């Protein structure tokens, strides 16, 4: 028999899971595209479709929230969770469309590296979010959040090293403009993942 | 006889109208200046004066909020509405002063195009905000919000096309630095308009 | 005998003071480094250590908040105060690490000028935050907040003048990329200080 974290409200947890799964799809698709080093119309549209599906779930949750008297945890926390998860997907989508708009072509090893860390972080986030259903997962949820924080630090260091090298070796200012923004954007995805983890952890604390 | 949206509180609605009218003035003045392609001290000061007047109304509303027991809708929603409307005006003012600071001269067709969409979006916002006074406007308020969202999508596409062309054709990196930021800022105005519309719509839903 | 601003809760005020003192340390260290015009590993680590200590105090406050039934003022206001103060320190730390990452060397007079204004603003903030303990300081707290706002305006004008000159005289696009961001970041510190002052002032109004 399971001991529940919160008063049972299957819908919300199902919806959170659905939303975080879209974030996972976005991260996986991003990694795939970046590893191939070329973005065609099809892969762009696939990302946009993931983003739209994520939006739909976010709207569903907000609508449920307006209609529900009882929610598994504080409304503000649900709101923050949904918003930050949505921002994760949006930011990945933004990078992808920037790669197209900035006319970036070819494989960039740094970006491949970043896409791996982003995937790891979003996967850890998925563990955390899915674990919230049940109080017995409290320890593993907390560990996943710690992992997300760790990966944000990894990303910080990566970005600084990449930018440092860029300013040291790249002589083409237009390339600097492009890559500086893209590496910073990639790190921003990890920042937002950390924000999600932060919300999850504060929910955990309140319901401990 | 009118059926009111919320408990009557003439002041708040009057103040919202006043604030959104300042946003309209900012958008109109921006369009005018951009269409002429030159900014003199007078036009800069006019924009700053609009911005100050907008600030004053925002402060008035926040003061009223602190003093009122009864408000036409949730305090957080009023707060969000006022803040986002203020951000619309601030962002238009920021672009204007950036044009000066970045030493931009001459007419840029892209920016003229953007200033038209910004004006349309702020006008739709004005309809939405003014319509909130009365429940019978519910449908038209909602349609205005949809229009603001539509224009944000239009702006996204425009910005991406403009940036794509910029990176493809512009060889001067300093021009890229300037225009990249200005086009992105212009699209940000539409993003913030969408945030306002989002607040309006969520107020509508709560009071349906 | 002192007349207290809020129900006595020594802990919170002590913690706010501790946090704002870390902001002061960050501003002072930044000014020192910038005036010398070179950043070594030691000075970088010192800034990071200040930032970590600031983080620790912020976490302490949030933990206290979760455990306390009675707080000296609204939870959201404490939350906002702590967050914004944390952002001040983070932003100063960010600029410092960007100077390293962007391979900036030598003394830049503009940045020295900015570091002075930042120090002044954070010192005014410290007066405001420390004064909150006691209602009799109400006037001086309010004056400190006004000073922070004034310095933000000073910073705006400084940044615009610096950027204007940069775009007029600097021919190296990579230098423009670097300094444009650094001057804008420096001004952002003053913006965040203003946000802190805004929170302090709104607390004051509620408890007048």
* Nearest to C43, CA basis, from C62, C60, C26, C57: C26
Q: Residue A177: list chain B partners with CB under 8 A.
A: 173, 176-177, 180
Phi-psi region of B73 (alpha: psi -120 to 50; beta: other; left: phi over 0): beta
Residue B66 confidence (pLDDT): 76
Axis crossing angle, helix C173-206 with helix A173-206, rounded to the nearest 10: 30
- Residue matched to tokens 């008035």: B60
Report the Cα–Cα distance between both ends of chain A, in Å, rounded. 19
Query: Which residues touch A88 (CB under 8 Å, ≥6 apart)?
Result: A23, A26, A122, A125, A189, A192, A193, A196
When scoring A74, A145, A158, A164 by the number of chain C Cβ atoms within 10 A, the one with the most, hence best to mutate, is: A164
Asked if C167 lies within 8 A of B100 by C-beta distance, the reply is: no
State the DSSP string of A147-160: HHHHHHHHHHHHHH
Asked if B180 lies within 8 A of A177 by C-beta distance, the reply is: yes
Residue of B nearest to C173 (CA): B174
Cα dihedral A53, A47, A94, A129 sign:
positive
Q: Residue C164: list chain B partners with CB under 8 A.
A: 100-101, 103
Q: What is the average per-residue pLDDT within C56-84?
A: 88
Q: Give CA–CA dist A151/A36, Å, rounded.
A: 23
Residue B36 confidence (pLDDT): 94
List, for residues A77-129, the tens digit of each pLDDT value.
999 999 999 999 999 999 999 999 999 989 999 999 999 999 999 999 999 99
Axis crossing angle, helix A10-36 with helix A109-131, rounded to the nearest 10: 170
Count of residues making up chain B: 208
* Nearest to A75, CA basis, from C200, B191, B202, B73: B202
Q: Residue C196 — very low, low, confident or very high, per pLDDT cuts 50/70/90? A: very high
Q: Give CA–CA dist B195/B23, Å, rounded.
A: 14
Residue B76 confidence (pLDDT): 87
When scoring A60, A99, A102 by the number of chain B Cβ atoms within 10 A, the one with the most, hence best to mutate, is: A102
State the DSSP string of C80-93: HHHHHHHHHHHHHH
Q: What is the largest CA-CA distance in chain A?
A: 63
Closest by Cβ to A177, choosing from C97, C100, C177: C177
The distance of B43 to chain A (nearest Cα, Å) reads 31
Cα dihedral B31, B32, B35, B39 sign:
negative
Q: What is the average per-residue pLDDT within A185-206?
A: 94
Residue of B nearest to C180 (CA): B177
User: Is domain C10-206 annotated with CATH 1.20.58.220?
Assistant: yes
Residue A3 confidence (pLDDT): 43
Question: Could you count the other beta carbons within 10 Å of the beta carbon of residue B20?
Answer: 25
Q: Give CA–CA dist B134/B140, Å, rounded.
A: 11
B interface with A, Cβ–Cβ below 8 Å:
160, 163-164, 167-168, 173, 176-177, 180, 205-206
The per-residue pLDDT of chain A, averaged, comes to 92
* Nearest to B25, CA basis, from B59, B51, B61: B51
Evaluate if residue C5 carries a pLDDT over 70.
no
Low-confidence ranges of chain B (pLDDT < 70): 1-10
Displacement of CA B176 from its chain's centroid (Å): 25
Question: Could you count the other beta carbons within 10 Å of the beta carbon of residue B31?
Answer: 21
Q: Residue B41: list chain C partners with CB under 8 A.
A: none
A interface with C, Cβ–Cβ below 8 Å:
160, 163-164, 167-168, 173, 176-177, 180, 205-206
B interface with C, Cβ–Cβ below 8 Å:
66, 97, 100-103, 173-174, 177-178
Question: Could you count the other beta carbons within 10 Å of the beta carbon of residue B23?
Answer: 28
When scoring B80, B102, B181 by the number of chain C Cβ atoms within 10 A, the one with the most, hence best to mutate, is: B102
List, for residues A50-78, the tens digit of each pLDDT value.
999 999 999 999 888 877 878 888 888 99
Residue B11 confidence (pLDDT): 80
Asked if B102 lies within 8 A of C177 by C-beta distance, the reply is: no
SS3 A102: coil
Residue B71 confidence (pLDDT): 83
Evaluate if residue C27 carries a pLDDT over 50.
yes
Closest by Cβ to C177, choosing from A160, A173, A205: A173
- Structure tokens that stand for C97 in this block: 């690490």
Axis crossing angle, helix A173-206 with helix B173-206, rounded to the nearest 10: 30
Q: What is the average per-residue pLDDT within C29-42?
A: 94
The distance of A41 to chain B (nearest Cα, Å) reads 15
The per-residue pLDDT of chain C, averaged, comes to 92
Q: What is the average per-residue pLDDT within C138-158?
A: 96
SS3 C37: coil
Q: Residue A160: list chain C partners with CB under 8 A.
A: 97, 100-101
In chain C, what are the helix, strand and coil shares in percent, each to the nearest 5?
A: 85, 0, 15
Phi-psi region of C117 (alpha: psi -120 to 50; beta: other; left: phi over 0): alpha
Residue A124 confidence (pLDDT): 98
Asked if C101 lies within 8 A of A164 by C-beta distance, the reply is: yes
**Are residues B14 and B61 in contact, defined by beta-carbon separation less than 8 angstroms?**
no
Q: Residue C173: list chain A partners with CB under 8 A.
A: 173
Q: What is the average per-residue pLDDT within C40-47?
A: 94
The distance of C43 to chain B (nearest Cα, Å) reads 31
Identify the chains in contact with C, defined as 3+ C-beta pairs within 8 A: A, B
Report the Cα–Cα distance between both ends of chain C, in Å, rounded. 19
| Higher-pLDDT residue of B37, C92 | C92
Q: Give CA–CA dist C187/B47, Å, rounded.
A: 21
List, for residues A139-158, the tens digit of each pLDDT value.
999 999 999 999 999 999 99
Q: Residue C67 — very low, low, confident or very high, per pLDDT cuts 50/70/90? A: confident
Q: Where are the domains of chain C?
A: 10-206
Residue of C nearest to B174 (CA): C173
Cα dihedral A68, A72, A74, A77 sign:
negative
Q: What is the average per-residue pLDDT within C139-149?
A: 96
Residue B1 confidence (pLDDT): 36
């Amino acid at each position: 028999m399971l001991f529940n974290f919160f008063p049972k409200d299957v819908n919300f947890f199902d919806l959170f899971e659905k939303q975080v799964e879209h974030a996972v799809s976005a991260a996986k698709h991003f990694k795939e595209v970046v590893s191939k080093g070329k973005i065609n119309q099809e892969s762009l549209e696939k990302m946009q479709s993931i983003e739209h599906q994520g939006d739909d779930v976010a709207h569903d949750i907000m609508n449920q929230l307006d209609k529900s008297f009882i929610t598994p945890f504080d409304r503000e926390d649900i709101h923050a969770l949904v918003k930050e998860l949505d921002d994760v997907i949006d930011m990945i989508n933004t990078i992808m469309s920037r790669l197209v708009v900035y006319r970036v072509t070819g494989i960039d090893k740094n970006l491949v590296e970043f896409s791996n860390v982003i995937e790891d972080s979003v996967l850890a986030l998925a563990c955390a979010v899915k674990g919230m259903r049940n109080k017995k997962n409290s320890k593993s949820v907390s560990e996943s959040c710690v992992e997300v924080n760790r990966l944000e630090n990894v990303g910080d260091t990566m970005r600084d090293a990449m930018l440092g090298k860029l300013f040291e070796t790249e002589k083409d200012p237009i390339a600097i403009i492009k890559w500086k923004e893209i590496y910073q954007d990639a790190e921003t995805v990890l920042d937002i993942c950390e924000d999600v983890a932060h919300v999850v952890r504060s929910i955990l604390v309140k319901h401990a």
